[in-house]
Chains A and B, each alone.
Chain A
Amino acid sequence: MLFDRFDPLKGERLEIMDKDGRVNEELRPDLSDERIKELYVRMSVMRLADRTALNLQREGRMGTYAPVYGQEASQASAAFLGKEDWLVPSYRESGALFMRGVSLSGIYRYWMGDERGLIGIKDLRVLPIEVVVGSQPLHAVGVSWAMKLRGIKSVAAVYFGDGATSEGSFHEAMNFAGVFNTPTVFICQNNQFAISVPRKVQTRSKSIAQKANAYGFKGIQIYGNDIMAVYAAMKEAMSDAREGRGPRLIEMLTYRFGPHTTADDPTKYRDAAELEKNKPFDPLIRLRLYLSGRGMWSEEEEYEIMDAAKAEVEKAVAIAESAPPPEPSDIFHNTWKREHPYLKRQEDEMLALLRETEGGAPNA
């Protein structure tokens, strides 16, 4: 059992495929080469989609966006959830949402400032994007607790970063999960930075994974750029949680190649040399090397993959940009279940003003 064998308190970490694509055969999980290839292709689309979002923001076609560049293998963990499981994301989860089946155009539309982009997530058992750092682990514990109380075998996997582990609500969630033995899998993508503040300033603990011990369940630290380690740890964690063996914490060590969001400049707080040092650990490079060694990847084929990715991403952008803007009166709906008269009056007031200004936003 990986969670026992790789004890974070002993400083152990799980790595199966190294940066050069070499696999530790003793640890090789039951992941076929075809499946690995498929994951590689999806992760390539994810990377292009992510870079496209960043570019769209630079061109003024999208709002603030939190890129996942460098974290593609960790984000791909979402592919290892069952249909009946729940995915509870933070704001840096475009890749995880994409892997879960949320449409790229919907994700774009959300970051273009329209909540309606995420309509449909409920069918995928995905919770809304959480922007407050560290608030959502409690929701994951609650939803998985409900599954347990209702006798439904379903796990909630919750995503957050290293910064979130300093929030009280993260610890409250870990504690409740331990006490009520909820089927929750905590996924910490430790990308080394909370905006500009490095991981060592978040905690004096040697690892984030070891924090699980304090709450009476198991944690593991893995190399989050290694898709095989991600798969193996997820498989065990999800099955442990599902079978009532307890919640699990997976710390995925990764590295944010890009900025925190489109609103910051990482060169202010991070050495170019450090970034360069981390580049060879790119989750896609090792997959290319691995697949090429198995005769399943070539440069010509990469062009095909990228052409298809480009078509998919461009289509998503076009759909997102052609989505009709929401009706102004939509502001007044969905805050409350029932219409209330004073709010209705405010809606009428705004609509009357709109008529006077011939449809232009009164503040524009």
Chain B
Amino acid sequence: MPKLNIVSAINLALDREMGKNDKVVIIGEDVGREGGVFRVTDGLQEKYGPERVIDTPLSEGGITGTALGLAVGGMLPVAEIQFEGFMYLALDQIANQMARYRSRSRGQYPINLVLRLPWGGGIRAPEHHSDSPEAVLVNTPGITVVQPSNPYDAKGLMTAALRYGDPIIYCEPKRIYRAIKAEVPDEDYEVPIGKAAVAREGTDLTIVAWGAMMREAMKAAEELSADGASAEVIDLRTISPMDSDTIIDSVKKTGRLLVTHEAPRTGGIGAEIAVRVYGEAFTSLLAPIERVTGYDAVMPLFKLEDYYLPNAKKIIAGARKILRY
């Protein structure tokens, strides 16, 4: 089985699906000859031609709005916005349009498309290239948001997304794009959308993470085991609609919950998870829920980004706090 990183795993998923389904088209800035700013679509224009891998004008709203129209017209567009910070330029088309089209038309016009968005910090990039604005999307019914944390899930989630039948925002953890290599089957498989995964089993504490934070969570769990604390780690994978049942079941077992995300704390996904757990596993809780997150401050330029972002060390500190409670 070939060992792939996240970039090549997504590329492989797109390649295989384009081979199977001639309605799949890729649109975006630099997706063609350049193969995307992160090379995720590398080689696809060469293989499938400029009619299927299409460089567009520099316009996030244009890419997103025409992708919706392409989907209405029977194509299956995979649209790329180069960095999550530029998502806001397309927010009318995302939140007012693609999220609502199915509802507005009472199911007559489902919008089957994937919007790819490199996500998160840690790559020493300029402003607007390091944020994690998933909370904006999670408060938008009709948008399905996924984020893989490893190459296997990257391929399986992309394959599932392309066959899903609703608008999917596929967040790509750019910090670990090439950091992890893992065995990725060439054959067809899907990672189910709407299902979290228990990445590590444990008994004393549940840690919930996704995307690039999964690596930090796993590292923290490793180190905590040296303390004699057994941490269960859940990879959320689908951020909206969220699989809170897997989290609640885990907390009922461990009695403690720590959620970590790069996004600012207030109104972040951690808050939503916490409320659901308080509501459904209140009597199982042995300690207050801990959040290890970005701060309620603007994501700084890279001289300070390591202070801003959560990491294994911060997760361990948070975990010890609730383990000692």
Spell out A's residues near B (CB within 8 Å).
Answer: 86, 115-116, 118-119, 121-122, 127-129, 132, 135, 138-147, 149-150, 156, 168-169, 172-173, 175-176, 179-180, 333-338, 340-343
Contact = CB atoms under 8 A, between A and B. Distances in A.
Interface stretch (B9-17, B55-63, B203-211): B55-63
Contacts of B165: 337
Contacts of A141: 65-66, 69
B283 interface: no
B144 A139 contact: no
Interface of B: 25, 51, 54, 56-57, 59, 61-62, 64-75, 92-93, 96-97, 101-110, 141-142, 144, 164-166, 194, 241-242, 244-245, 276
Contacts of A338: 166, 194
B102 A145 contact: no
B70 A118 contact: no
Contact of B97 (A139, A156, A333, A334): A139
B62 A176 contact: yes
Contacts of A144: 69, 73
Contacts of A145: 66, 69-70, 73
Contacts of A169: 61-62, 65, 92-93
A334 B103 contact: yes
11 contacts: A119-B108, A127-B105, A138-B64, A139-B69, A142-B67, A146-B69, A147-B73, A169-B65, A175-B57, A179-B57, A333-B107
A336 B106 CA distance: 11
A176 B66 contact: yes
A176 B56 contact: yes
B73 A132 contact: no
A118 B105 contact: yes
Contacts of B241: 336, 340, 342-343
B100 to A, nearest CB: 8
A335 B110 CA distance: 10
A336 B72 contact: no
A346 to B, nearest CB: 11
A176 to B, nearest CB: 5
B109 A127 contact: yes
A337 B110 contact: yes
Nearest to A169: B61
A175 B62 CA distance: 9
Contact of A176 (B57, B72, B106, B242): B57
B91 to A, nearest CB: 11
Nearest to A154: B73
Contacts of B104: 115, 128-129
Contacts of A156: 69
A122 B108 contact: yes
Given A128-B105, A132-B96, A176-B59, 8 more contacts: A127-B105, A138-B62, A139-B69, A142-B72, A150-B75, A334-B103, A335-B102, A342-B242
| Candidate in B70, B96, B242 with the most chain A CB atoms within 10 angstroms | B70
Interface SS of A by simple majority: helix
Contacts of B25: 149
| Candidate in A115, A135, A146 with the most chain B CB atoms within 10 angstroms | A146
Given A122-B105, A135-B96, A176-B59, A142 B110 contact: no
A129 B103 CA distance: 12
A150 B56 CA distance: 18
Contact of B142 (A122, A129, A336): A336
A140 to B, nearest CB: 6
A142 B105 contact: no
A102 to B, nearest CB: 12
Contacts of A336: 102, 141-142, 144, 166, 241
Given A138-B69, A146-B75, A175-B57, A340 B194 contact: yes
Nearest to A331: B103
Nearest to B56: A176
Contacts of B107: 333-334
The 10 closest A-B pairs by CB, nearest first: A142-B69, A146-B73, A138-B65, A172-B62, A142-B66, A340-B241, A143-B73, A139-B69, A143-B69, A122-B108
Given A149-B75, A150-B73, A176-B57, A135 B97 contact: yes
A273 to B, nearest CB: 38
A168 B61 contact: yes
Contacts of A122: 105, 108-109
| Candidate in A141, A176, A180 with the most chain B CB atoms within 10 angstroms | A176
Contacts of B242: 342
B277 to A, nearest CB: 13
Contact of B106 (A118, A168, A341): A118
Nearest to A119: B106
Nearest to A175: B57
A206 B321 CA distance: 68
A118 B110 CA distance: 15
Contacts of B105: 115, 118, 121-122, 127-128
A129 B97 CA distance: 11
A334 B103 CA distance: 5
B93 A146 contact: no
B31 to A, nearest CB: 14
Given A139-B97, A145-B69, A342 B244 contact: yes
Nearest to A167: B92
Nearest to B105: A128
A337 B98 CA distance: 13
B59 A128 contact: no
Contacts of B51: 149
Contact of A139 (B72, B166, B245): B72
Contacts of B245: 341
A289 to B, nearest CB: 41
A150 B74 contact: yes
Given A116-B106, A176-B59, A342-B244, A132 B92 contact: yes
